[in-house]
């Protein structure tokens, strides 16, 4: 009986949130395996998830319209990105390392290939909510942000603007917002999705930021795994964070992707980097990408999502 009521509620979600429903419909048409996974996952999600997803995908639709694309294009990008991930995963399980050894490798394969950049970035739009672990890192951020008031917010690698957009909603107009990204493709995407002139979007290297200009909240989501030397960036962020400021970081372990370089083998390695860089953990969350017992996830080297709110030691 309970299950029947729950299923009815789910149907209502699908009527109430047409964007997400359309995306799932297109997945069903193009990739049965992904659709099956997403359907099972959506059955576990609460109403807040659906509201957040619909709000984000509405913003993303503006981006798609602005470049003359539709959701089918985006779903195809998502399928391509997942295929890349499967391919990288097979290599990772065979060799025990990521396929990229340097930033130059990724630059040649991805950053200098507009076609690859395009489908990869668009694929990630869907992953923000369709991957359980990705939503966990966002909900952890969104559910806790109001605990840490900020006047000068910085986000490095804002990507699709999901996090900075949430920060704008929570902090309001009295806070100054800055998004910085080394990739012009990424920063243009951020601008198109945010459509908010009050957010300063800078295409530059974070290392060029002056230490005199300090921030009391810094977000660094899914960035350090793209670097050869994460410690160098962590130390830079230590310099530009105010003494009582808060730093939100997320990064995965055992997560081979076409643009990942630095391999963390487990959460302890991430915690060690945090400690070594002069930060302490206030709160943290880590989940495996697949819904299974931790022992099995560790055995199969299933990707682990790690997220934490940090302060200076």
Partner 1 sequence: MMNETILEQLNKIFIEVLDNPSIILFVSTTANDIDEWDSLSNIELIVAIEKKFKIKFTSNDIEKWNNIYDIINTITVKYSR
Closest by CA position to 200, among listed 172, 176, 175:
176
Report the residue from 17, 23, 31, 161 that binds partner 1 according to the rule CB under 8 A. 31
Closest by CA position to 192, among listed 203, 201, 205:
201
Query: The sheet that has 241-253: what strands, in order across it?
Result: 199-203, 176-181, 152-156, 215-221, 241-253, 304-312, 279-288
β-bridge pairing 152-156 and 215-221: parallel
Q: In the window 139-178, what residues touch partner 1 (CB under 8 A)?
A: none
Report the residue from 9, 11, 83, 104 that binds partner 1 according to the rule CB under 8 A. 83
| Least Cβ distance, residue 130 to partner 1 (angstroms) | 12
Span interacting with partner 1, options 89-97, 103-111, 192-200, 201-209, rule CB under 8 A? 89-97
Distance CA 105, CA 262 (A): 12
Please report the beta strands in the chain, taking only residues with DSSP state E, as ranges in sequence order.
152-156, 176-181, 199-203, 215-221, 241-253, 279-288, 304-312
> Site for partner 1 (CB under 8 A): how many residues?
22
Report the residue from 59, 84, 134, 250 that binds partner 1 according to the rule CB under 8 A. 84
Report the residue from 17, 20, 23, 37 that binds partner 1 according to the rule CB under 8 A. 37
Place of tokens 């081979």: 256
Nearer to partner 1, 82 or 136 (CB): 82
Told to check if 79 binds partner 1 by CB under 8 A, we report yes
Secondary structure of residue 290 in the 3-state scheme = coil
Told to check if 120 binds partner 1 by CB under 8 A, we report no
| Least Cβ distance, residue 97 to partner 1 (angstroms) | 17
Instruction: Give residues in contact with partner 1 (CB under 8 A).
Output: 30-37, 79-80, 82-84, 86-87, 89-90, 93, 290, 292, 300, 302
């Amino acid at each position: 009986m309970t299950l029947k009521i729950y299923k009815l509620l789910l149907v209502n979600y699908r009527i109430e949130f047409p964007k997400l429903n359309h995306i799932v419909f297109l997945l069903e048409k193009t990739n049965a395996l992904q659709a099956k996974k997403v359907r099972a996952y959506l059955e576990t999600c609460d109403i807040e998830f659906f509201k957040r997803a619909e709000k984000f995908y509405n913003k993303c639709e503006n981006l798609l319209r602005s470049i003359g694309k539709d959701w089918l294009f985006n779903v195809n990008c998502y399928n391509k990105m997942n295929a890349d991930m499967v391919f990288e995963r097979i290599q990772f399980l065979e060799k025990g390392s990521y396929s990229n050894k340097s930033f130059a490798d990724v630059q040649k394969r991805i950053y200098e290939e507009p076609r690859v950049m395009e489908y990869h970035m668009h694929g990630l739009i869907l992953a923000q909510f369709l991957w359980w672990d990705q939503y966990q890192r966002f909900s952890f951020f969104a559910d806790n942000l109001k605990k840490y008031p900020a006047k000068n917010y910085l986000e490095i690698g804002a990507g699709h603007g999901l996090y900075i957009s949430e920060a704008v909603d929570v902090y309001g107009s009295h806070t100054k917002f800055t998004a910085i990204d080394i990739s012009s493709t990424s920063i243009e995407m951020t601008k198109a999705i945010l459509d908010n002139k009050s957010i300063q979007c800078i295409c530059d290297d974070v290392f060029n930021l002056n230490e005199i200009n300090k921030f009391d909240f810094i977000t660094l989501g899914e960035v350090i795994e793209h670097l050869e030397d994460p410690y160098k960036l962590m130390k830079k962020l230590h310099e530009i964070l105010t003494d009582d400021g808060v730093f939100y970081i997320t990064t995965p372990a055992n997560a081979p992707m076409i643009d990942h370089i630095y391999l963390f083998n487990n959460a302890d390695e991430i915690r060690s980097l945090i400690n070594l860089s002069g930060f302490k953990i206030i709160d943290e969350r880590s989940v495996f990408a697949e819904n299974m017992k931790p022992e099995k996830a560790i055995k199969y080297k299933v990707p682990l999502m790690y997220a934490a709110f940090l302060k200076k030691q």
